[in-house]
Structure 1
Amino acid sequence: MKQAAPLLLPLLRTRAQGDILAAVILQPDKEQSLTDLARAVGTSRLTVLREIDRLEDAGLVSTRRFGNTRLARARTDNPVYAPLAELLAVTFGPLAVLRELLADVDGIEHAFIYGSWAARYHERPGSVPGDIDVLVIGDPDRERLADAVEEAEKALHREVNARRVAASVWANDDGPFKRTVTSSPIVELVENKGEAGGRDDGGEGSLASR
């Protein structure tokens, strides 16, 4: 079945294309293997291979071989790079940018985007998201988390509302905020520790049931 164009950026063919573009274009100093890209965006290596080949043919990406590994990185010398990066930053950027920044903040057990951006990412119709809502579960250093959020806001050109909740508080919460969040689409950013629950594939989650 043919996939519909993604609501976040209908100019693209698929959501996977947007995720791959954002992961490469918005991290121009980072060289990434096709396998790592596939894992990061939750798609097949074949899909990544096809998109990287198209991007390289267009002069937006360069690749090289390191042993049996093919590495890709953005070409910033292309005149299309800057406007494309700006467009991706305000559409598919939150997942790639926040996932990268929060991965370096110790003490996070689970983090995900919720609210309007997550809903559009999961093809729920609505207006263009004005800001990004992030829930961080765990005990991260407040200053390091604030620095990561500030850097994300600069990269994404919009406000990032990060709500920090201790894992024990979240686990025992039965209030309306948690019920609303856990019954709505979410997009995973960090899930590698603790018992906060959730999913690691960028899919919609029902955290309350885990």
Structure 2
Amino acid sequence: MQDVQARSRLLPLLRSPVLGELLAWIYLHPEQTYSVSELAHRLRVSQSTVSREADRLTEAGLVTQERRGNLRLLRADLDNVLARPLTELLALTYGPVAVLADVLTPITAVEAAYIYGSWAARHAGAPGPPPRDVDVLVIGDADDDDLADAARAAEHRLGREVNIHRVSPSRWRAATDDPFLASVRSRPLYPLIEQGRPA
């Protein structure tokens, strides 16, 4: 579970990383509606946490909601005057989580994927300037051309460079003798896909 009390280092205007991820999922998929339970699962927080944030966002006019039976469904309110600039800010800050899961999940032979480097460090609370790019480690035997296409698609949506580095599962498991992978493992990692499914 994420620490819902942590301060946002990726977008300090926001109260918490959970709020940033929640807004990113909603605003970077404006055609989708999400249930509170689905968002709680994606963000690895409780449904009550998502529900409280949804109350605030609905009150502020940033999110619309509808009820279908017991489901509370949320969607970005694109009629709000803040929608366009907010979407751009979210793409540059919390967007990698929502966008990279979209572009990597359909690729066969991706066993796991993690964001590492400065973006993962900021998300984990390390101080520093906004990351200029996003570094992604893919574990599996995915085709390099498919990964390059995914990186380009993500760059288009995020407005920043995306670097995807692929390693085989056996190399990842034997990372103790690989300086690059040892370094990656020693720093924060944000899971995008674990065991072939979105994290």
SS of the aligned residue for 1:72 comes to strand
Q: CA deviation at 1:192?
A: 2.1
1:5, 1:11 within 8 Å by CA — same for their partners in 2? Answer: no
* Map of 2:171 onto structure 1: 169
SS of the aligned residue for 1:178 comes to helix
Q: CA deviation at 1:4?
A: 4.7
The residue identity in structure 1 corresponding to 2:191 is E
Large movers: runs of 4+ above 4 Å: none
* Map of 1:191 onto structure 2: 194
Pick aligned residue for 2:25 from 17, 23, 26: 23
What's the RMSD between the two structures over aligned residues?
1.9
* Map of 1:156 onto structure 2: 158
Whole-Å separation in 2 of the counterparts to 1:125 and 1:152: 25
Q: CA deviation at 1:134?
A: 0.2
Gaps of 5+ in 1: 195-199, 201-210
* Map of 1:10 onto structure 2: 12
Number of residue equivalences: 195
* Map of 2:57 onto structure 1: 55
Taking structure 1 as reference, are residues 143 and 67 closer, same or farther at Cα in structure 2, changes over 3 Å only? Answer: farther
2:63, 2:77 within 8 Å by CA — same for their partners in 1? Answer: yes
SS of the aligned residue for 2:65 comes to strand
Q: What pairs with 1:1-210 in structure 2 (closer than 5 Å)?
A: 3-173=5-175, 174-193=177-196, 200=199
Deviations 1:53-100 (A, max 9, x none): 211122221111222211111121222100000011111111121122
TM-score when normalising by structure 1: 0.87
Identity %: 49
Taking structure 1 as reference, are residues 103 and 2 closer, same or farther at Cα in structure 2, changes over 3 Å only? Answer: closer
Whole-Å separation in 2 of the counterparts to 1:170 and 1:2: 31
Whole-Å separation in 2 of the counterparts to 1:155 and 1:124: 25
Whole-Å separation in 1 of the counterparts to 2:7 and 2:183: 27
2:4, 2:18 within 8 Å by CA — same for their partners in 1? Answer: no
Gaps of 5+ in 2: none
